[in-house]
Amino acid sequence: MGRPEKGLPPTRNRGLLELASWLRALRAAAGLKYADLADRTEETGRRFTATTLQRAADGSRIPTLRVVEAYAQACGATATEARKYWRAARAFHRPPPRTFPKPRLINDSVELRTALYAVYVKAGALPLREMDRRAQHGRLPRNTLSRMLSGGTMLKRAQLKAFLEVCEVPEREHPDWLEAWDRAWAGYFGLFNGPFARQLRKEAQQDYHARSSFRAHSRFLELDRARQTGRNWYRDAQRRAPRIYKPAIPVVRSQEIASVLDEWNP
C-alpha cells in the first residue's frame, strides 16, 4: 500500500471530512495504490492521474464531481453514492434556501425560478459547464441557465426537462414541474393579452405622440427664429434640422413672410 496517508486537515466543512474519509476507506478496502487506481479510472471514460486522485482524498478542498465518481467506481462503489457525499460537502459553501414553493403551489415565473434555484443548490450547484455536458451539449445552454439562476429569464419546456434530469429530480415529480411551468408561462404571457396590457400599450402610444409633438414643436421654434433673423439662416436651418416634422404653413402666409424678408434684405 506504500506510505500511509497524512491525516485530514481541520476544517469546519463536515461534509468534506466525510467525503475524504469515505474515499480513503474505499481505497483501503479495495487494496489499491493510487497508480493502480488511476489505471482503473480509464474504464469510467476518462483517466485521471494518481496525483489528482490523491488530492481528491486529502480533505483540503472539494474535488470535482467527475473525479469523485471515477474514484468511487474504480473502487467498486456506485456513482449515486459518490454524488451523495459530494453534495453534502458542497452544501457547506452554498446552503439551499430555507423556504421555496413546492411545484404544485407555483403560479408565476418568480416562484418557478426560486424553486428551480433551490433544486440546483440541493443538487450540489454543479458548474454550468458540467451541467451542459451532462445534458448532452445544447439541451441546456450555459448562458440560458446562468440568466435563469440570476432571475433574468425562464427555461423552455425542453430545457426544464433537461434541468430536472441533470439535477436528478425523481421522474415521478416531473409532471408537477411541467404543470408549474405551464402556469408560470400562462401568467407571463397573460400580461400582454389582458386589459392591463391594453392600458400599457395605450399609455405607451400617448407617450410616443407626446415626445413626437415636442420634437416637432422644438424644430418649428428653431425655424421660426431663423425666419426672424434672415433668409440665409432660415435656409441653413432647413438643411441642418432633422426632417422629423414639416410644419404646415399656408401658402399666403409664406408669401407674406418672403415679402417681409425681401424688404429686410434688399
CB atoms within 10 A of CB 7: 8
Q: Tell me: the pLDDT tens digits for 186-211?
A: 765 544 444 555 565 566 667 766 77
Work out the average pLDDT over 173-193. Answer: 76
pLDDT at 258: 56
Q: Tell me the HSE value of 217 on the side-chain side, using a 13 A CA sphere.
A: 6
Beta strands in the chain (DSSP E): none
* Residue 198 to residue 102: CA distance in whole angstroms: 33
Comparing C-alpha atoms, which of 60, 208, 55 is closest to residue 68? 55
Looking at residue 168, what is its pLDDT? 87
Q: At the topology level of CATH, where does 14-90 sit?
A: 434 Repressor (Amino-terminal Domain) (1.10.260)
* Predicted confidence (pLDDT) per residue in 69-109, tens digit: 999 998 888 988 898 898 888 888 777 777 888 888 888 88
- Does residue 246 surpass a pLDDT of 60? no
178/156 Cα distance (integer angstroms): 10
Q: Using alpha carbons only, how large is the chain's radius of gyration in Å?
A: 34
Q: Structure pTM?
A: 0.60
DSSP characters over 83-147: HHHHHHHHTTTSPPPS----GGG--SHHHHHHHHHHHHHHTT---HHHHHHHTTSSSS-HHHHHH
Asked if residue 225 has pLDDT above 80, the reply is: no
- Name the nearest CA neighbour of 90 among 10, 166, 14: 14
- On average, the pLDDT of the chain sits at 78
- Of the chain, the end-to-end C-alpha distance in Å amounts to 112
